[in-house]
Amino acid sequence: MSDDQGWKDVGFHGSDIKTPNLDRLAQTGARLEQYYAHPMCTPSRAALLTGRYPHRYGLQTAVIPSAGTYGLATDEWLLPLALKEVGYKTAIVGKWHLGHSDRQYWPLQRGFDYQYGPILGEIDYFTHSAHGQVDWYRNNDLVNEEGYVTTLLGQDAVKLIEAHDPNTPLFLYLAFTAPHAPYQAPEEYLDQYQSILDPNRRAYAAMITAMDDQIGQVLDALDRQGMRENTLVVFQSDNGGPRSAKVTGEVDTSGGTIPADNGPFRDGKGSLYEGGTRVVALASWTGHIEPGSMVNQPMHIVDWYPTLAGLAGAASDPSKPLDGINIWSALTGGQIPYRDEVVYGIEPFRAAIRQGDWKLVWQVMLPSRVELFNLAQDPGEETNLADQHRGIVARLKRKVEALYQDAKFPLFIEEAVGAAKSVLFTSVATPEASEAIDNQP
């Protein structure tokens, strides 16, 4: 998984950014051209590991901030737990961002046998720090080491594969932080893009190529271990590339433009439009997925849980019904499973849903706005057809409201409101404030 990568920012989508290993995976597998995630990091990562929409457990809004005390609900039965029950070794190498304040939320407590990398969101690629503190762990222990984050993650994944018994099944979740801000890369990669004058775009391109190199190293390790022919490789970004500095994180990106390119799609990270949610994705498995194929049916990040569990013979928790569907037959050119909707996000103040070619974007917070797009005719979401198709709008609104009935209130908002109340009442309770109130006429 990449982090904040634009839809167009791979070679096989026509970019000038060098991604030879991802291009090779696309040539040997299937490009997933209508693949959806959620518009931000935490919701997407939660959806991947639960197979359930994040509004069901309160992670649908924003990301877990550095001061956040909440995390992914501990009663959710995560994919690594399901796979462990059928004999898999499980490992996460890379970014977590599903809870950091309490170790009950950390990867080793959620079904992973091995963990390496940052627990928070963004990270400095050379100091390994986030918000002034080192955020670099191996199996819950803080690690102080030198190196470029992307390279270290790739090298650790390679070591893990080389030490693994090929006769034991392995689930490896390799979650790169690249190309999330801060936009930093080693000189050897920056030198490959001297023709790019904008410093942010140059570093961003270099970061993607550095990540691609490490993906190549991982694929080579699978080949050396004789594991490649029995390995399904999936690649995707966690959300669309950012188009606003408001969603690049807490670092300063003012040195250049916001560099991601989402191609023909509107807007980017944080948005419910296609640019924030339709992400670059592929799947490759020699002998199973037709080389060079292209899958144009809608797929969603929640679909990987039932698909991978189905391949492994693992079971989900019946008390937590999955929202995903098994898409294996679609990946292998067989019968296309029926997905009647794509849920982009269900929040108290906004929502978006797609049924067939029709997509509703509903902004409830003032100024309110209702938009309806036909994605087959208008993938760039330029023409609002809500007034011409009021019946479709009404039907999709009813579906959104039905989904919201099962929603948990966003933990991000709940905690933010609680913090604001605490600050307010603390301020009012000071002697100076009390005296000022007493002296009011």
Q: State mean pLDDT over 40-62.
A: 99
Q: State mean pLDDT over 295-323.
A: 96
Q: Which amino acid appears at position 420 of this protein?
A: A
> Domain spanning 11-331 has what CATH number?
3.40.720.10
pLDDT of residue 182: 97
CA distances from 417 to 79, 186, 221 (A): 32, 41, 48
Helix axes 199-224, 149-162, angle to 10 degrees: 10
Q: What percent of the chain has pLDDT over 70?
A: 95
Q: Summarize pLDDT for 160-219 with one digit per residue, the tens.
A: 999 999 999 999 999 999 999 999 999 999 999 999 999 999 999 999 999 999 999 999
Q: What distance in Å separates the CA atoms of residue 150 and residue 173, rounded to the nearest whole number?
A: 14
3-state secondary structure string across 261-293: CCCCCCCCCCCCCHHHHECCEEEECCCCCCCCE
Q: What angle do CA 385, 247, 4 make, to 5 degrees?
A: 90
pLDDT of residue 437: 36
Residues assigned a catalytic role: 41, 97
pLDDT of residue 338: 78
pLDDT of residue 251: 84
| CATH class of the structural domain 342-405 | alpha beta
Other CB atoms within 10 Å distance of the CB of residue 381: 21
Closest CA to 324 of 310, 312, 307, 336: 307
Helix axes 41-50, 304-312, angle to 10 degrees: 30
Q: Summarize pLDDT for 133-155 with one digit per residue, the tens.
A: 999 999 999 999 999 999 999 99
Assess whether the region 11-331 and the region 342-405 belong to the same CATH fold. no
pLDDT of residue 55: 99
pLDDT higher than 60, residue 439: no
So where are the chain's domains? 11-331, 342-405, 410-441
Assess whether the previous peptide bond of 441 is cis (omega < 30° from 0): no
